[in-house]
Amino acid sequence: MRILDAEEITTSFVNCSPTDLAKLELPPDLLSRPWPTLDFLGWIDPSTPMRGYLVVDLPEGLTGVRLRFPGNPASTRRTSMCALCHTTHAVGGVALVSAPHRRGESAGSFGTYACADLACSLHVRGLTGPFHGVPARETLGFDSA
């Protein structure tokens, strides 16, 4: 992913009201992120852990989505898998995240299970800290595509 600046990030959100954007807190480590290894920029709001953000550079342009996390983890007794990167995590490593529809569309939201730290790009590449859970064994190499 290319390096993004604060203005690009804040203007990319499709489901944030002006009030939501005023509350948006960028990640404190924005400049030191491993940009070449990211497929998308994802972070948890430092001031509100139940709020997260995901920004991806699509062919149509930069698109950001505000996410909500539940107050408690999706799984409290078992290993769970992220629907975005298919990484398995031990207890609390996966959360049900939901996002309201685009501004101006009818009320409602959609959701999926995602890595609780939104670091899917790093999990897939094995660039994160200690792995908690059962890793899936990769059988397809990069040269196979």
pLDDT 10s digits, 14-55: 999 899 899 899 999 999 999 999 999 999 888 888 899 999
Count CB neighbours of 4 within 10 A. Answer: 20
Domain spans of the chain?
6-130
pTM of the complete model = 0.72
Residue ranges in the chain whose pLDDT is less than 50: 74-75, 130-131, 133-134
Rounded CA separation 113/95 (Å): 5
Quote the percentage of the chain above a pLDDT of 70: 80
